[in-house]
C-alpha cells in the first residue's frame, strides 16, 4: 500500500478514536459547575481581572437579572463616540492619539502628539533584509498567519527581545504598532504576487503620514489614495483599537504575558486569536456570507426570501453549515454595539455615493431580520445586535481594500490595546494565570506492550 493510502487509513481510523476520546459529556460541566467559556450561567463573563484600559458596557444587573442596555465603549474612561467626534470635528487623524491614550492613560497635548507621531514614523520601516528574508521568501496565503510569523521573526532583530522592563516593553510596543501596517501591506503584496499572479511592488512607508495613509499608500500600485478614504480608515482603526481585558485576543495577551514571556510571543498569540472567525476573523466571514446570500436570494427587497435563506443558514443548512450569522451577536453588547452604529452610518454614506445602496439595504435588512428569526428558532427573547464586524468589510470594499486585509486591519487597530494590556498584566497582574481543570478521567492501570490487545 502506498504511503498516501496508508496515511488516509490512519487518519480516518484515529480521527474517529480521537474524537470519541475527547468528548466530555455536557452534563458533567453542569455537575461540577464549570464556567464554560469563562461564563456565568446568564452569559455574563466570569470576573478574572481588573483593567483601566477599556470599558465595555452592554447590560446592567438588577436584583440578579441581566437587563439589556444600549452599548457604550470607553477608552481610558473616554466614550469612543465622543473621542471619534472630537478628532473628526477638528479634521485630524485620530488613531495615533488613540494609541497614546491607550498606552499612557490620557489624551496627549499637541506637543506630545507630534513627538509621539515622530516616534511612530521613525519605526515604520522594517529592518534591513526583513522584507526579503522574512516576508518575500516565505509568503503565506493567509495574511494573519504571515503577520503572526512576522511578529515572531521580529524577535531575532531585537537585541533586547527578552527584556520585560516597562522601558523596553514601551519601545517594543511602539515599534510593533508602527510596523504592523508595513508587515501587513508587504505580506499582502507577497500573496498577490506569489498566489494571485499580480505584479509585485513594495512601497516604502512615509514617516510623516498617519497609519491609515501609510497603509493605503503601501497597498496601492501608484501610492495614491483619496483624503476621504484615509479619514474613514482612520476612524475604523480608532473604533477597533481596544475592547477590555476579556475579549479573546486581549485575554490571550494577558494569559501569555502572565508567564513572563517576551512581547513578540504575546502579540503573536493575540494575532492568532483575533484571526478566528468568532472574533476578528468574522469580518471576512461576513463578506463571504453576504456574497453567498446575494447569490441565493433573488429579490433583495423580499423580507420573506431573505428570512427563509437566513433560517437555512441558522439551521446549518446553507453557507458554511456552522449555523452562525457572522457579524451578529456579542458576548457583552445586547441592544447595540456603538462601533457598529458608527460604521453603519459610514457604510450608508459611502453606499449612497458609490451606487451600492441596494447592497447596503440588504445588509440593513439582515441586521433587522436576524434577531427575530434567531429568537423564534431558539425560542428565547435574547437580543442580538450587529457587532463591529458586520459593516466594516462593506466599508472597506467601497474603499477598494482587498478582502485579504480585512482582519489584518483589525490587528493593526487592536495591537495598541494588546500592548496596553500586556503592560497592565506585567505591572499589575503579577501572578501566572492558571485556572483549574477538574480531571473526569477514570484511573487506568498501566499495561505492558505485550499485554495490550
By annotation, the residues acting in catalysis are: 330, 389
Asked if 53 is part of the footprint of ligand OAA (rule: CB under 6 A), the reply reads no
Q: Which of residues 56-75 bind ligand OAA (CB under 6 A)?
A: 56
Asked if 243 is part of the footprint of ligand OAA (rule: CB under 6 A), the reply reads yes
324 binds, among ligand OAA, ligand ACO, none (CB under 5 to 8 A by kind): ligand ACO
Task: Determine the Cα–Cα distance for residues 148 and 143; give it in Å rounded to an integer.
Answer: 9
- In whole angstroms, how close is the CB of 63 to ligand ACO at the nearest point? 21
C-alpha closest to that of 276 among 251, 310, 293: 251
Task: Determine the Cα–Cα distance for residues 329 and 386; give it in Å rounded to an integer.
Answer: 6
Q: How far is CA 413 from CA 123, 197, 308, 377, in A?
A: 17, 29, 36, 35
329 binds, among ligand ACO, ligand OAA, none (CB under 5 to 8 A by kind): ligand ACO
Residue with smaller CB distance to ligand OAA, 243 or 254: 243
- In whole angstroms, how close is the CB of 313 to ligand ACO at the nearest point? 8
- Judge contact between 160 and 167, C-beta under 8 A: no
The residue with its CB nearest to ligand ACO is: 329
Where are the strands (E) in 86-204, listed by range?
none
C-alpha closest to that of 320 among 281, 266, 378, 368: 281
Element (H, E) at 168: helix 166-196
C-alpha closest to that of 423 among 232, 242, 173: 173
Cβ within 8 Å of residue 29, ≥6 positions away: 36
- In whole angstroms, how close is the CB of 114 to ligand ACO at the nearest point? 31
Residue of 289, 325, 419, 426 that binds ligand ACO (CB under 6 A): 325
- In whole angstroms, how close is the CB of 54 to ligand OAA at the nearest point? 9
Asked if 247 is part of the footprint of ligand OAA (rule: CB under 6 A), the reply reads yes
Applying CB under 6 A, the site for ligand OAA has a residue count of: 7
Residue 75 pairs in a beta bridge with 54, 78
Residue of 319, 326, 394, 396 that binds ligand ACO (CB under 6 A): 326
Grid coordinates of 102:
491607550
Using the rule CB under 6 A, give the single segment among 84-92, 187-195, 380-388, 442-450 that binds ligand ACO: 380-388
- The count of other CB atoms within 10 Å of the CB of residue 348 is 17
DSSP-derived letter for residue 156 is G
- In whole angstroms, how close is the CB of 73 to ligand OAA at the nearest point? 8
Task: Determine the Cα–Cα distance for residues 420 and 294; give it in Å rounded to an integer.
Answer: 40
Residue with smaller CB distance to ligand OAA, 191 or 414: 414
Residue of 324, 362, 412, 415 that binds ligand ACO (CB under 6 A): 324
307 binds, among ligand OAA, ligand ACO, none (CB under 5 to 8 A by kind): none
Separation of CA 287 from chain center: 15
**Exposed/middle/buried for 203, CB within 10 Å: 0-12, 13-18, 19+?**
middle
Residue 56 pairs in a beta bridge with 73
The CA-based dihedral angle spanning residues 148, 150, 153, 158, taken in that order and rounded to the nearest 10 degrees: -110
Residue 65 pairs in a beta bridge with 62
Asked if 242 is part of the footprint of ligand ACO (rule: CB under 6 A), the reply reads no
Q: Which of residues 259-288 bind ligand ACO (CB under 6 A)?
A: 278-280, 282
Residue with smaller CB distance to ligand OAA, 164 or 370: 370
C-alpha closest to that of 351 among 290, 398, 414: 398
373-402 mask for ligand OAA (x: CB under 6 A)?
Answer: --------------xx--------------
- In whole angstroms, how close is the CB of 64 to ligand OAA at the nearest point? 23
Asked if 144 is part of the footprint of ligand OAA (rule: CB under 6 A), the reply reads no
Q: Which of residues 288-317 bind ligand OAA (CB under 6 A)?
A: none
- In whole angstroms, how close is the CB of 194 to ligand OAA at the nearest point? 31
Which residues bind to ligand OAA, rule: CB under 6 A? 56, 243, 247, 331-332, 387-388
Which residues bind to ligand ACO, rule: CB under 6 A? 43, 278-280, 282, 314, 323-331, 384, 387-389
Amino acid at each position: 500500500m502506498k504511503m498516501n493510502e496508508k496515511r488516509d487509513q490512519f487518519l480516518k481510523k484515529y480521527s474517529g478514536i480521537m474524537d470519541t476520546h475527547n468528548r466530555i459529556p455536557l452534563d458533567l460541566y453542569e455537575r461540577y459547575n464549570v464556567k464554560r467559556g469563562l461564563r456565568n450561567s446568564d452569559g455574563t463573563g466570569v470576573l478574572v481581572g481588573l483593567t483601566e484600559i477599556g470599558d465595555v458596557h452592554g447590560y446592567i444587573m438588577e436584583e440578579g437579572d441581566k437587563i439589556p442596555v444600549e452599548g457604550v465603549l470607553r477608552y481610558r474612561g473616554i466614550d469612543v463616540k465622543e473621542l471619534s467626534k472630537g478628532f473628526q470635528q477638528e479634521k485630524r487623524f485620530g488613531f495615533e492619539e488613540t494609541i497614546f491614550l491607550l498606552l499612557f492613560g490620557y489624551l496627549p497635548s499637541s506637543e506630545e502628539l507630534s513627538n509621539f507621531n515622530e516616534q511612530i514614523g521613525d519605526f515604520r520601516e522594517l529592518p534591513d533584509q526583513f522584507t526579503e528574508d522574512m516576508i518575500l521568501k516565505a509568503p503565506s496565503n493567509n495574511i494573519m498567519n504571515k503577520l503572526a510569523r512576522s511578529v515572531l521573526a521580529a524577535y531575532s532583530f531585537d537585541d533586547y527581545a527578552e527584556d520585560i522592563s516597562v522601558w523596553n516593553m514601551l519601545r517594543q510596543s511602539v515599534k510593533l504598532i508602527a510596523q504592523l501596517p508595513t508587515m501587513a501591506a508587504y505580506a499582502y503584496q507577497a500573496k498577490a504576487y506569489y498566489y494571485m499572479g499580480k505584479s509585485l511592488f513594495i512601497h516604502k512607508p512615509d514617516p510623516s503620514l498617519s497609519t491609515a495613509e501609510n497603509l493605503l499608500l503601501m497597498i496601492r500600485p501608484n501610492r495614491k489614495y483619496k483624503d476621504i478614504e484615509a479619514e474613514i480608515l482612520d476612524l475604523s482603526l480608532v473604533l477597533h483599537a481596544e475592547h477590555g481585558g476579556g475579549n479573546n485576543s486581549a485575554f490571550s495577551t494577558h494569559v501569555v504575558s502572565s508567564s513572563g514571556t517576551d512581547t513578540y510571543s504575546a502579540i503573536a498569540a493575540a494575532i492568532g486569536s483575533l484571526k478566528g472567525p468568532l472574533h476578528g476573523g468574522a469580518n471576512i466571514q461576513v463578506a463571504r456570507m453576504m456574497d453567498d446570500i446575494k447569490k441565493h436570494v433573488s429579490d433583495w427587497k423580499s423580507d420573506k426570501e431573505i428570512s427563509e435563506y437566513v433560517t437555512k443558514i441558522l439551521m446549518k443548512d446553507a453557507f458554511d453549515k456552522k449555523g452562525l450569522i457572522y457579524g451578529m451577536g456579542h458576548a457583552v453588547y445586547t441592544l447595540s454595539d456603538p462601533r457598529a452604529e458608527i460604521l453603519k452610518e459610514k457604510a450608508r454614506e459611502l453606499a449612497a455615493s458609490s451606487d451600492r445602496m441596494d447592497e447596503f439595504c440588504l445588509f440593513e435588512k439582515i441586521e433587522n431580520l436576524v434577531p427575530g428569526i434567531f429568537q423564534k428558532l431558539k425560542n428565547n427573547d435574547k437580543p442580538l445586535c450587529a457587532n463591529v464586524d458586520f459593516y466594516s468589510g462593506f466599508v472597506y470594499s467601497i474603499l477598494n481594500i482587498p478582502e485579504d486585509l480585512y482582519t489584518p486591519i483589525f490587528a493593526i487597530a487592536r495591537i495598541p490595546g494588546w500592548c496596553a494590556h500586556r503592560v497592565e498584566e506585567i505591572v499589575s497582574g503579577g501572578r501566572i494565570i492558571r485556572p483549574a481543570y477538574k480531571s473526569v478521567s477514570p484511573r487506568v492501570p498501566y499495561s505492558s506492550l505485550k499485554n495490550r490487545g
